Structure 1
Amino acid sequence: MNTVYETRRKKLENYLGEQQIELAMITAPSNVFYYTGFNSDPHERFMALVFDMRKGEITLFVPLLDESSAALASDIQKIIPISDAEEPFEVVSNTLGADIATFGVEMKALSLFRYNGLKSFYPKATVSNIEDAVNAQRIKKSAHEIKAAQKAIDIIEKVLAEGIKTVKIGMSENELTAELEFLMRKFGADGPSFSTIVLSGEKSALPHGSPGERAFEKGDFLLIDMGVIKDGYCSDITRTFVIGEATEEQKAIYQIVLESNKAGINAVKAGVELKSIDIAARNVISEKGYGDYFNNRVGHGLGIEVHEEPSVHEGNTAIAEKGLLFTIEPGIYLPELGGVRIEDIVYINDDGEAQVLTSYPKELQVL
């Protein structure tokens, strides 16, 4: 019986055959995981899943130190280790032969350094981009993938619920970050899916600011944006709180962002242009006079990576389809006062409707 990975590889092989690509090289670690089940960051070392369409063979090239792990985690039979002393493309050439006319690669994943290495051993080969085909597969999530993502979501919501209990005036952003990341591991995460963002007071107006030594004060906005990885899939959630006591202005701004978040979610369904989702959320903020203070897209795809396709922005005319998984995260960021962001994860289910996978309360909480 075919594994989920074999099914995915077969779909890519069909595309490669149609495009008459002789050799395809998958090097992005997230894509190697998608097609094999082996999840590893090789850092500066070479790792590639190679489809040899001439022979109908698939080979996984890995750093020597990862050979055993790859054999345990993946369903690929032919695994070739490469030591730190070896030239990767010399090993590829010796293994697969040097007479190759067409090479398929992921354009964003292949550095100029690696491209030069490829061309030094395959100088006559035509190199073409297969990344769009890979992304077209990955963008539509299976029931298995949604189940995996839900595990990561459940963990991060538990972390948030427990973590905010420790918040007190005088605590620093770094201290709360440490508490949250401890809880991630305690509750079963494999690690954070990105650097945890904890921002207070005026710093919360920095959409992707970094936690520091700033101590929490009464009346601060407290913005927490974080996620975890669990079994290869990511979560990402943002909630904004007020410490001590909220002013009427803070309550009003929060309510606008909450209405924007709900408008964005309500606009989600199969068959609409992705831009319409962004515009629905953006219009709420613009109509209240804060359009200049919402300067990012409303959402991004989520899955094996914390940022993947689709990009939900006001210029994206692609059509929303069943199987898409992405965030809805409008915000208002006011210099000096601070910012509010509310982020949920939405899935377009088999009925073509929006299914919100996050469940953490969104009404303003004063800590």
Structure 2
Amino acid sequence: MRLTKMRQRMAEAKVDGAIIMEPNNRRYLSGFTGSAANLLVTSDQALLVTDFRYIEQATAQAPAFKIVKSAGGTSLQPLVDLIGGMKLRRVAFESDYLVFDGYNYLREALGAEVLVPLKGIVEGIRQIKDQSEIELIHKAQSITEQALEKTLPLIKPGVSERAIALELETWMRRLGADKTGFDTIIASGQRSSLPHGVASDKMVEQGDFVTIDCGAVYQGYCGDLTRTYVVGAATAEQRRIYDIVLQAQMAALDGLKAGITGRVGDSFARTIITEAGHGDQFGHGLGHCVGLAIHENPRLSPAEDAVIQAGMVITVEPGIYIPGWGGVRIEDTVAVTENGITNLTTIAKDLMIL
């Protein structure tokens, strides 16, 4: 099915071959999870070029592909030989991934007229998840939630952000994660105003906000979750800011569905935060799609005109960030349906005092 969709896109682009190098795209089309391989897809052939280290693995993981052993030297020369031998006249390449030196090598060997730059040729297919992919993302999200719940007892005054991150990441691996999808964000106190405040040596203090943004990877697919807690006791202002963000997120979850643009989806939450007087302190988009990569398109953003479609899996993560004071973000990962969403996130989000 994936190769069929790929060939449809190739036909639309009027190319008779496509070189796929980006690791997530390579895995999506072939199933191969190793670190060194290139794909060449034509209208009637699917080839995976790799070296001695990965022949056995590729043979097992990519049964729909003919495995071609690279004889050594540059990893691009086998592609040149295959393309020349098949007499392909127009070959697409991932213009947003192939580096300049690689393009020059192919151009000099094949001729510029053969190479057709195509951005997002596979990513466009990856946007709509099938049920098996949604189930893998759900599992990644479940592992993330369980790990966070097991880490919460550690969060107390005198414990460093790094120690919290280590505990959380260790629990993810114990619960079956391949790895984390990104550097874990643990931002406490005034640092919680940093949207991407990765864990530091700062010690948690009484009265701190603690924002935790984390995500496990399970069988290649990413989870993404953010919760903000208060240590000790919450002030009235902390509760007010938290309630605004929670109200904004709930409005977005209620409004999100297939057929709206990313701009409209973003506005569900942004309008509430702006009307509360904090629009300038919500400086990022409401969300992004997730899958094999932690950040995929389309986005929920004031600048996004793409239409959100059923089968997309997307984050909903409004926030308010006040420099010198702190911040709040609440994030769920959801699967979009024709009439709304299925929330893949179940962990509580009412303000929790630790």
TM-score (norm 2): 0.95
Alignment correspondent of 1:102: 90
> In structure 1, how many angstroms separate the alpha carbons of the residues matched to 2:157 and 2:42?
61
- Counterparts of 1:76-115 in structure 2 under 5 Å? 76-82=64-70, 85-97=72-84, 99-115=87-103
- Give the C-alpha shift of residue 136 in structure 1: 2.5
- Counterparts of 1:50-129 in structure 2 under 5 Å? 50-53=40-43, 56-82=44-70, 85-97=72-84, 99-129=87-117
Distance 1:264 1:97, change over 3 A: same
| 1:97-123 deviation digits (Å, cap 9, x = unpaired) | 264321201221111121112112112
In terms of mean alpha carbon deviation, does 65-74 or 178-187 score higher? Answer: 65-74
- Counterparts of 1:153-172 in structure 2 under 5 Å? 153-172=141-160
Alignment correspondent of 1:28: 22
Q: Secondary structure at the match of 1:241?
A: strand
Q: Is contact 1:59-1:78 (8 Å) kept?
A: yes
Which residue of 194, 199, 218 corresponds with 2:187? 199
- Please, which runs of 5 or more residues in structure 2 have no aligned partner? none
Which residue of 336, 343, 349 corresponds with 1:356? 343
Q: Is contact 2:84-2:110 (8 Å) kept?
A: no
Which residue of 221, 227, 250 corresponds with 1:233? 221
Distance 1:93 1:127, change over 3 A: closer
Alignment correspondent of 1:19: 13
Q: Is contact 1:60-1:76 (8 Å) kept?
A: no
> In structure 2, how many angstroms separate the alpha carbons of the residues matched to 1:328 and 1:286?
17
Alignment correspondent of 1:215: 203
1:365 pairs with 2:352: yes
> In structure 2, how many angstroms separate the alpha carbons of the residues matched to 1:189 and 1:73?
20
Which residue of 258, 262, 268 corresponds with 2:246? 258
> In structure 2, how many angstroms separate the alpha carbons of the residues matched to 1:164 and 1:353?
31
Q: Which AA in structure 1 matches 2:210?
A: L
Q: Is contact 1:278-1:312 (8 Å) kept?
A: yes
| 1:325-365 deviation digits (Å, cap 9, x = unpaired) | 1000010111111110000112112x432111101111000
> In structure 2, how many angstroms separate the alpha carbons of the residues matched to 1:124 and 1:231?
38
Q: Is contact 2:221-2:291 (8 Å) kept?
A: yes
> In structure 2, how many angstroms separate the alpha carbons of the residues matched to 1:21 and 1:151?
37
> In structure 2, how many angstroms separate the alpha carbons of the residues matched to 1:149 and 1:262?
21
Alignment correspondent of 1:277: 265
> In structure 1, how many angstroms separate the alpha carbons of the residues matched to 2:77 and 2:126?
30
Q: Which AA in structure 1 matches 2:38?
A: A
- Give the C-alpha shift of residue 11 in structure 1: 1.6
Q: Following TM superposition, where does structure 1 have runs of at least 4 consecutive aligned residues deviating by more than 6 angstroms? A: none
Q: Is contact 1:100-1:122 (8 Å) kept?
A: no
Cα RMSD (Å): 1.6
> In structure 2, how many angstroms separate the alpha carbons of the residues matched to 1:250 and 1:176?
22
Q: Is contact 2:187-2:212 (8 Å) kept?
A: yes
Which residue of 39, 60, 81 corresponds with 2:33? 39
- Give the C-alpha shift of residue 63 in structure 1: 4.0
> In structure 1, how many angstroms separate the alpha carbons of the residues matched to 2:100 and 2:344?
39
- Please, which runs of 5 or more residues in structure 1 have no aligned partner? 1-6
Q: Secondary structure at the match of 2:122?
A: helix
- Give the C-alpha shift of residue 158 in structure 1: 0.2
> In structure 2, how many angstroms separate the alpha carbons of the residues matched to 1:286 and 1:204?
20
Q: Which AA in structure 1 matches 2:31?
A: G
Q: Secondary structure at the match of 1:213?
A: coil
TM-score (norm 1): 0.92
Which residue of 100, 111, 125 corresponds with 1:137? 125
> In structure 2, how many angstroms separate the alpha carbons of the residues matched to 1:257 and 1:345?
16
